[in-house]
């Protein structure tokens, strides 16, 4: 939580990057996850959520062309992986939001 626009600026600087992702804490399946590409957009949106008492998480946007990996781990062993590809025009790869799942392996480093 923050108060006053000065601390919003500090928060935005700390997270870094041009684009930032705002996530409502109560969301799942990609609902309540937004990307904002301008600083003034991030600032005004954070202030709106704050005023409405809605708790959010702010993250740097990680460029991944709308792709992510789902990795299932049992104990300390990776047992299954697949890649998810976001629908055109979206950055969220959730299957429930129209994303596509394709077989994929991850490298040892990943």
From CA 41, how far away is CA 64, in angstroms rounded? 21
The residues that bridge with 75 in the sheet, in sequence order, are none
**Does the protein bind ligand ATP through residue 81 (CB under 6 A)?**
no
For 89, counting Cβ atoms within 10 Å of its Cβ (0-12 exposed, 13-18 middle, 19+ buried), the class is exposed
Q: For ligand ATP, which residue of 34, 45, 59, 81 counts as binding (CB under 6 A)?
A: 59
**Contact (Cβ atoms closer than 8 angstroms) between residue 87 and residue 48:** no
- Using the rule CB under 6 A, give the single segment among 10-18, 42-50, 71-79, 90-98 that binds ligand ATP: 90-98
Residue 23 or 43 having the CB closest to ligand ATP? 23
* Both structure tokens of 82: 């697949």
Residue 62 or 71 having the CB closest to ligand ATP? 62
Residues in touch with ligand ATP (CB under 6 A): 21, 23, 27-30, 33, 59, 61-62, 64, 68, 91-94
């Amino acid at each position: 939580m923050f108060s006053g626009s000065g601390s919003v600026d500090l928060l935005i600087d700390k997270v870094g990057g041009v684009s930032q992702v705002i996530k409502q804490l109560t969301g799942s399946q990609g609902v309540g996850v937004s990307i904002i590409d301008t600083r003034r957009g991030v600032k005004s949106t954070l202030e709106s959520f704050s005023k409405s008492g809605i708790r959010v998480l702010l993250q740097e946007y990680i460029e991944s062309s709308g792709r992510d990996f789902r990795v299932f781990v049992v104990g300390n062993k990776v047992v299954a992986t697949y890649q998810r590809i976001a629908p055109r025009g979206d950055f969220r790869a959730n299957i429930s939001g129209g994303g596509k799942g394709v077989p994929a392996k991850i490298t040892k480093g990943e």
